[in-house]
């Protein structure tokens, strides 16, 4: 597999090179002003859904982008890097593989891929997160490497050619997606037959004691820390957003329906995170619903 495969986004040399296919021109501007995130993510109201969810999620990540990694590292005690390494290992990549990172954010997974010599293609709906990712990549010297391809895109509608990537990765993005089933079908479409997908997400420990401790930390301490270090409403949304995740068994089924086989799930670090893996079916129809 060559690195410069046509149809897999465009190399982004600077911020202006990030793609925003089909997006309105103002979507490149972080939506800091004019949006009352506190109201949308307030824990007394219903969680937003559909287009409204997507708009609010994008505005929220635009808003917290600059401190996102710092807050993550503090809140996870640095475990987040270990989890992303496990995600990359789970993909069983061949040297030089091209990997699509969905909901790439500030690019932690993309950087881990590049460190190991793979070509990362980063897709995210938040322009603010992509800009931070670009800055981080420059700081890490990635600008001298093959060049990360980045695109502002909705996971459910990727400007990526069918069957053009060797693997798909995603870390902590699933619960934020507007349409999970459509996004996984889209992942299956762009993945070559036999290629692997790895999806990392938050989870709840099985053990009752761990679950109680985790509940206090995730529901009380995380929002407080987030308010102190970054943005109050965004980090109140974080524990609430878990409600968007389907139960594990349903997610495994959604993966199969999307065009994947051998879906598996495992928990890590006492159960606080979960990793879903699967293989793109060789004989399915490009991520669409199974044909009769
Ligand atoms: C919690 S962050 C995770 C970022 C990064 N993967 C990491 O490991 O830190 C979730 C990311 O998903 C992105 N996202 C949310 N909805 C999306 C969508 N529909 N399509 C693409 N990206 C989306 C957000 O903008 C955000 O950058």
- Is 97 contained in some domain? yes
Neighbours of 15 (CB within 10 A): 13
Of all residues in the chain, the percent with pLDDT exceeding 70 is 80
Number of domains in the chain: 1
- Domain CATH code at residue 129: 3.40.50.150
- Is 35 contained in some domain? no
Residue with tokens 């891929």: 113
DSSP lists the bridge partners of residue 224 as none
Could you tell me the two tokens for 74? 């503090």
CA of 173 relative to ligand 1 center, distance in Å: 4
Could you tell me the two tokens for 64? 């917290």
CA of 106 relative to ligand 1 center, distance in Å: 9
Neighbours of 94 (CB within 10 A): 10
Closest ligand 1 atom to residue 58 Cα is 25
106 confidence band (pLDDT: 50, 70, 90)? very high
- pLDDT tens readout for residues 71-96: 999 999 999 999 999 999 999 999 99
CA of 177 relative to ligand 1 center, distance in Å: 8
Residue with tokens 């969680």: 47
The alpha-carbon radius of gyration of the chain (Å, integer) is 18
Average pLDDT estimate for 134-149: 70
Largest Cα–Cα distance in the chain? 54
- Is 198 contained in some domain? yes
Average pLDDT estimate for 232-259: 93
Domain of residue 169: give its range: 41-203+244-280
Pocket of ligand 1 (CB under 6 A): 54, 57-58, 61, 103-105, 108-109, 123-126, 129, 154-155, 171-173, 176-178
Per DSSP, the chain holds a count of helices (H) and strands (E) of 11, 7
- Is 191 contained in some domain? yes
Closest ligand 1 atom to residue 155 Cα is 20
- pLDDT tens readout for residues 183-224: 999 999 999 999 999 999 999 999 999 999 999 999 999 999
How far apart CA 155 and CA 100 sit, in angstroms, is 11
How far apart CA 146 and CA 189 sit, in angstroms, is 25
- Strand order of the sheet with strand 260-268? 149-152, 119-124, 98-102, 165-171, 191-202, 273-280, 260-268
Residue bearing the bigger pLDDT, 108 or 140: 108
Phi, psi of 139 (to 5 degrees): -65, -35
Mean pLDDT, rounded, of the chain: 85
Please tell me the pTM assigned to this model: 0.87
């Amino acid at each position: 597999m060559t690195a410069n495969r046509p149809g897999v986004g465009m190399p982004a040399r600077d911020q202006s090179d990030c793609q925003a296919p089909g997006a309105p021109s103002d979507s490149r501007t972080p939506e800091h002003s004019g949006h009352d995130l506190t109201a949308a993510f307030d824990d007394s109201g219903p969680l937003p859904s559909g287009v409204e969810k997507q708009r609010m999620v994008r505005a929220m990540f635009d808003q917290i982008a600059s401190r996102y990694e710092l807050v993550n590292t503090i809140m996870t005690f640095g475990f987040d890097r270990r989890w992303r390494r496990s995600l990359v290992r789970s993909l069983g990549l061949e040297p030089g593989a091209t990997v699509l990172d969905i909901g790439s954010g500030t690019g932690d997974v993309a950087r881990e891929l590049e460190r190991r010599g793979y070509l990362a293609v980063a897709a995210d709906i938040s322009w603010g997160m992509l800009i931070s990712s670009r800055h981080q990549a420059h700081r890490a010297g990635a600008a001298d490497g093959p060049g990360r391809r980045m695109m502002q895109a909705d996971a459910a509608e990727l400007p990526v050619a069918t069957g053009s990537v060797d693997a798909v990765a995603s870390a902590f993005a699933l619960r934020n997606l507007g349409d999970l089933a459509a996004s996984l079908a889209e992942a299956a479409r762009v993945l070559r037959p036999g290629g692997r997908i790895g999806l990392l997400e938050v989870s709840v420990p099985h053990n009752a004691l761990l679950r109680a401790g985790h509940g206090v930390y995730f529901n009380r301490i995380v929002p407080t820390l987030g308010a102190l270090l970054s943005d109050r409403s965004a980090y109140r949304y974080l524990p609430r957003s878990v409600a968007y995740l389907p139960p594990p068994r349903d997610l495994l089924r959604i993966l199969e329906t999307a065009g994947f086989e051998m879906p598996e799930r495992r928990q890590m670090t006492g159960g606080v995170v979960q990793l879903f893996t699967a293989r793109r079916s060789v004989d399915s129809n490009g991520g669409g619903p199974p044909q009769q």
